[in-house]
Amino acid sequence: MRFIIERLFQFLLPPQCHCCEKFLDEGEQGICSDCLSEIRWIEPPFCSVCGTPFISGEVRSHPCGSCLTKRKYFTMARALGAYEGSLKEAIHRWKYQGKTTLTPFFVKWMVEGLYRYWDPNLFDLLVPVPLHIQRLRERGFNQALLLVKELSHRTGIPYQKRVLQKVRPTIPQVNLSGVERAKGVRGSFHMIGKEELEGKSILLVDDVYTTGATVNECSKVLLAGGAERVDVLTLAHALKNY
Ligand SMILES: [Zn+2]
Ligand SMILES: [Zn+2]
């Protein structure tokens, strides 16, 4: 009965913003214009390797200090928006409250990013950053796989979900430095089924780029497994001092 009443209300009331739950105005879809206008889209100039935006005084994109001193295994990482404000809120609701209806909105932006930064014909395969089985059981889904499936559907680039496996859980990384994170993820990903990757260009997909330690470790494993090139696309990029 409660379910029927809820459905009836959903039918009668205007749809709500997936992010702040405000009722949407006519013409608004999924996310309200206030939440959308709050998103800080990442624009050049940024690091030509990891995609971290430069704070000030830079006119051209070039490799940042971190990418010059420490090797990145991926060729290019790009993200759509800064991981803050309404985008962070939307990602949290999507990931931790199971608001998977947000997936098509996120992927629409990711498709735009894919076409902006790469020639999509470059890629043979989309690969999601895997979750450890324990985390997967808690959450019920791998958010990176949700993005990959929809991205594959919209671009026609095939995806492979069983390429990488997370063999041990990572300790929560929130308060760790880049170096500590890199140490924390070392050896935590393994390949499953090597032969399929020989000579392939892979687009690795995740929801948030934080220090890059996770995607860098995954890229290293993919290259060691025979991939020719790995690039990274994430929905958001966590920024420091920006
Ligand atoms: Zn809103
Ligand atoms: Zn960089």
CA–centroid distance, residue 99 to ligand 1 (Å): 14
Say yes or no to pLDDT of 56 above 90. no
Q: Which ligand is nearest to the CA of 39?
A: 1
Q: Which ligand is nearest to the CA of 76?
A: 2
pLDDT at 94: 93
Task: Tell me the CA–centroid distance for residue 55 and ligand 2, in Å.
Answer: 13
The more confidently predicted of residues 64 and 173 is: 64
Distances (CA, A) of 74 to 160, 211, 212: 18, 13, 10
Averaged over 178-184, what is the pLDDT? 73
Q: Which amino acid is at 68?
A: L
Distance 79 CA to ligand 1 centre (A): 21
* Cβ neighbours for 225, distance < 8 A, ≥ 6 positions apart: 163, 191, 194, 197
User: Any idea which of 4-8, 34-38, 43-47, 167-171 has the lowest mean pLDDT?
Assistant: 4-8
Q: Is the pLDDT of residue 152 over 60?
A: yes
Q: From ligand 2's centre to the CA of 77, what distance in Å?
A: 9
What φ, ψ does residue 161 adopt, rounded to 5°? -85, -25
Please tell me the predicted confidence (pLDDT) of residue 176. 66
Contact call for residues 149 and 205 (beta carbons, < 8 A): no
- Rounded to whole angstroms, how far apart are CA atoms 78 and 237? 8
Residue of 71, 76, 70, 52 whose CA lies nearest to 204: 76
Ligand 2 centroid – CA 192 distance (Å): 29
| 125 Cβ neighbours under 8 A, 6+ residues apart | 157, 158, 159, 160, 163, 197, 200, 201, 202, 203
Which phi and psi (to 5°) does residue 178 adopt?
A: -55, -45
Residue 241 has pLDDT above 60, yes or no: no
| Residues in CB range of 200: below 8 A, 6 or more apart | 124, 125, 226, 227, 228
The answer to whether 85 and 38 have CB atoms below 8 angstroms apart is yes
pLDDT at 102: 92
69 Cα to the center of ligand 2, angstroms: 10
Region for 84 from its dihedrals, namely left if φ exceeds 0, alpha if ψ lies in -120 to 50, beta otherwise: beta
Ligand 2 center from residue 47 Cα (angstroms)? 5
Ligand approaching nearest to the C-alpha of 17: 1
Ligand nearest to the CA of 232: 2
Pairwise CA distance, residues 171 & 150, whole Å: 29
Q: Counting ligands in written order, which one lies closest to the CA of residue 24?
A: 1
Is 154 in contact with 107 (CB distance < 8 Å)? yes
pLDDT digits (tens, 9 = 90+) for 2-30: 667 766 666 677 888 988 889 999 888 88
* pLDDT for residue 242 is more than 60: no
CA 32–ligand 2 middle distance (angstroms): 33
Q: How far apart are CA 159 and CA 144, in angstroms?
A: 12
Tell how far the Cα of 20 is from the centroid of ligand 2, in angstroms. 33
pLDDT digits over 187-218, tens only?
A: 889 998 766 899 999 999 999 999 999 999 99
